[in-house]
Chains A and B, each alone.
Chain A
């Protein structure tokens, strides 16, 4: 099936700053696709080009097979939910939502019926005649969504739609947004810098950094199999290890020497060979922490370290464990009643172990990405 919305080799510069650098993205019909990245990564520029507010310097945008690159915004079957909502302050919620249909000069009866349907969808029927200044942030958000959806766009663009809301409301709106998507079945292009939102709502995520796409994949793929150190560190927390292949164990596994560690076995999905440098990303939750040395197992790596920092979080505890130059971030879920356990404490000697398949070899590594990791003050 050909992609529904595709960005083909898009580049855009503002002065000397390359905002978007040769980006290609394909979005399937009906999915929620997220562009995820830190501020200034080019995701908003990409969205604005899709809406028609910016023109790419090169490349083209296809929507349902039609080149829309140079079509002005008001002629595109694309609507946007703006970050600050951009509700029209002088119009009631009803008239805000009706705006697109009024421009399209649809018959009044039809407009009212459609608006009523939308008000019902976003549960704002009781507030229909209020002005935007008099409703809460979450309600404004819903009006913005209704105002865009009523035009039955081919793609709904959402520009950091939850950024202005507080945490609890953000989580609730995310579920609501997902529900609305299920109901209307329109393709969503979702822009966010919040990895939690992106992971929670998306079918596919494109992780962007400095104007480029770092990786495109399902949420589980970008989380579990990050291609670059940026993706690994930006989405969730992780630990980076640098080593050298000392031995190939058949085609599937490698033995890797990491400074300060006993020999480590790593799943070889990158076709690395003896002598190659490798960079590993291991997520904190992949480690087990134990006081006793774990039983020898060829599928488990183990290393001894000293607990440097403990943060109890209720459902789990976070530990930072020192092994030579590494400070390894890990956590432990308290699936059992925690008061009955002997707690692991500061300065304790512990064993860290992880399954050989749970470390992931990175294709690209940049030392600067270590700044994205969460480490306590030294």
Chain B
């Protein structure tokens, strides 16, 4: 019935419209305004002046900035990696724990949210302070030198970032692990894999969507972090977020802050896009290896290639494949 299709389309449009307007009004337009300000000249007493200019953008060429972008990237990357490394076993244990234990452990994960974010970070400042409890304990145990500093450096920023963002890594990993069929781990062991091997080869690929979500949930806020490096960081751990705040509140140079915001936006897009491409590219050597193996001319398909940990397939691909296969199966069942 051809008349059905346009009608369904129209309904889809009607359903999408409110969201579309909402996003346009409160997200797209403000973002465009912020980015547009980057092309305005700075006014001497804050705000921005008349006319358009590319000068602010040119100033981003200042050798200072690549260093800050790079630092932002590596601090965020390390914090994200640490979060994932901690969240993986936690998510696994949560999913395997008995109901009662699970509720209790989940409570522990979310309890920090009951206290204000700023208060918790100031608490860390107390802990890491030269006269703080952690420093004194470590010195007493001869684990650090008496003149070592725990505060105002990249280490402190990463530590507090991991502390702050860990629940955002645990929750998606737990959500994925909870749906994971743990009998698959037994199957892997049955086929000769050790416990750890089964975890790596079967569990991690099995929760890859949760892993990707966790990575993005931590990485994106980390890239834009401002409060954490501002409070526990120092000049050597300044991130883009700090620079944006400084340009806005101290220098009152809105165009410059906007340009930096654009830079941050591009960084986030490049990183997430890069992750996506990396994930997609994994398919190419595999497919290549398979065809080579099929023709007997050699192979690129190694064990690691085929069972590598994070391989989120494109959902669209899967759906298309599923449709195709369903049809084939239907034909088969019919015969």
Residues of chain B contacted by A51 (CB below 8 angstroms): 186, 190
Shortest distance from the beta carbon of B251 to any chain A beta carbon, whole Å: 51
> Known contacts A74-B194, A100-B191: does B181 contact A86 (CB below 8 Å)?
yes
User: Are the C-beta atoms of A90 and B191 separated by less than 8 Å?
Assistant: no
Residue contact A131 to B321, C-beta cutoff 8 Å: yes
Stretch at the interface among A26-34, A132-140, A270-278, A295-303: A132-140
Q: What is the CA–CA distance of A130 and B194 in the complex, to the nearest angstrom?
A: 26
Known contacts A108-B299, A108-B301, A112-B293: A73-B189 contact under CB 8 Å? yes
Query: Binary interface profile of A, 252-267, with partner B (CB < 8 Å = 1, else 0)?
Result: 0000000000000000
* Interchain CB contact under 8 A, A104 and B192: yes
B120 within 8 Å of A by Cβ?
A: no
Cβ contact of B192, chosen from A103, A108, A109, A136, cutoff 8 A: A103
Are A134 and B321 in contact, with the CB atoms below 8 A?
yes
Query: Which of B18-26, B144-152, B200-208, B270-278 is the interface stretch?
Result: B200-208
> Scoring A residues 50 to 84 as 1 if CB is less than 8 Å from chain B, else 0, what string do you get?
01110000000000000000001110001110101
B131 at the interface (CB under 8 A from A): no
A-B contact count (CB 8 A): 91
Interface size class of B (residues with CB under 8 A): 35 or more
Q: Which of A80, A112, A133 contacts B190 (CB 8 A)?
A: A80
Partner of A91, one of B189, B208, B307: B307
User: B184 — which chain A residues lie within 8 A by C-beta?
Assistant: 86, 88-89
Shortest Cβ gap from A167 to chain B (Å): 15
A134 contacts B293, C-beta separation under 8 Å: no
Q: Kindly state whether residue B332 has any CB partner on chain A within 8 Å.
A: yes
Task: Determine whether the beta carbon of A91 is less than 8 Å from that of B306.
Answer: yes
Is A227 part of the contact surface with B, judged by Cβ < 8 Å?
Answer: no
Q: Which of B53-61, B111-119, B167-175, B322-330 contacts A (4 or more CB under 8 A)?
A: B322-330
**C-alpha gap A103/B188 in the complex (Å):** 9
Which residues of the other chain, B, contact A112 by a CB distance below 8 angstroms?
293, 299
A336 part of interface (Cβ distance < 8 Å): no
A105 touches B303 (CB 8 A): yes
B197 in the interface (beta carbon within 8 A): yes
Residues 14 to 69 of chain B near chain A (Cβ within 8 Å): none
* CB contact under 8 A between A95 and B306, given known A86-B181, A90-B205, A103-B197: yes
**B329 → A minimal CB distance (Å):** 6
Evaluate contact between B301 and A73: CB separation under 8 angstroms.
no
Point out the residues of chain B lying under 8 angstroms from A364, CB to CB.
Answer: none
How many angstroms from the CA of A135 to the CA of B332 in the assembled complex?
A: 10
Give chain A residues whose Cβ lies under 8 Å from the Cβ of B12: none
Residues of B within 8 A of A89 (CB): 184, 206
A151 within 8 A of B: yes
Q: Note all chain A residues with C-beta closer than 8 A to B206.
A: 88-90
Asked whether any CB of chain A lies closer than 8 Å to the CB of B213, the reply is no
A103 and B306 in contact, given A86-B181, A134-B325 (Cβ under 8 angstroms): no
B271-310 CB contact bits vs A (8 Å, 1 = yes)?
A: 0000000000000000000100100000101110011000
Q: Is B267 interfacial (CB-CB < 8 Å)?
A: no
In the complex, residue of chain A having the shortest beta-carbon distance to the beta carbon of B187: A86
A327 at the interface (CB under 8 A from B): no
A74 touches B192 (CB 8 A): yes
Tell me whether B183 and A86 are in contact (CB under 8 A): yes
Main secondary structure of the interface of B (DSSP, over half): helix
Contacts of A84 in B (CB 8 A): 181, 183
Q: How large is the interface on A (under 10, 10 to 19, 20 to 34, 35 or more residues)?
A: 35 or more
Cα–Cα distance between A100 and B192 once the two chains are bound (Å):
6
Is the C-beta of A117 less than 8 angstroms from some C-beta in chain B?
no
Q: Decide: B301 and A103 in contact? CB cutoff 8 A.
A: no
A99 in contact (CB, < 8 A): yes
CB nearest to B194 among chain A residues: A74
Name the B residues within 8 Å of A79 (CB-CB).
190-191
Q: Which residues of A contact B318 (CB under 8 A)?
A: 131
A73 touches B303 (CB 8 A): no
Identify the closest chain B residue to A112 (Cβ): B293
Q: Is A43 an interface residue (CB 8 A)?
A: no
Chain A 91-116, CB-CB to B under 8 Å as 1, else 0, gives 10001000110111100110010000
B149 to chain A, nearest CB (A): 46
B208:A53 contact, CB within 8 angstroms? no
Task: Give the residues in chain B near A100, CB-CB below 8 Å.
Answer: 191-192
Indicate whether A212 reaches chain B with its CB closer than 8 angstroms: no
Distance to closest chain A CB from B37 (angstroms):
46
| B322 partner residues in chain A, CB cutoff 8 A | 133-134
- The residue in chain B whose Cβ has the minimal distance to the Cβ of A147 is B191
- Note all chain B residues with C-beta closer than 8 A to A105: 303
* Bound CA span A91–B187, Å: 13
Best-buried of B193, B322, B326 by chain A (most CB within 10 Å): B193
Pairwise interchain contact A134-B193, C-beta atoms closer than 8 A: no
A295 to B103, CA, bound (A): 76
Q: Which of B191, B301, B311, B333 contacts A136 (CB 8 A)?
A: B333
How close is B178's CB to chain A, nearest CB, in angstroms? Answer: 15
Q: 17 A-B contacts, Cβ less than 8 Å apart?
A: A51-B190, A73-B190, A74-B191, A74-B192, A74-B194, A78-B190, A86-B183, A86-B184, A86-B186, A90-B205, A90-B208, A103-B192, A108-B299, A108-B301, A134-B321, A134-B329, A136-B333
The 4 closest A-B pairs by CB, nearest first: A134-B325, A86-B187, A100-B191, A103-B192
Given contacts A134-B322, A148-B190, 14 further A-B contacts (CB under 8 A): A73-B190, A74-B197, A79-B190, A88-B188, A90-B208, A95-B306, A99-B188, A99-B193, A100-B192, A103-B192, A104-B192, A131-B318, A147-B191, A148-B191
Chain A residues proximal to chain B, CB less than 8 Å: 51-53, 72-74, 78-80, 82, 84, 86-91, 95, 99-100, 102-105, 108-109, 112, 129-131, 133-136, 147-148, 151
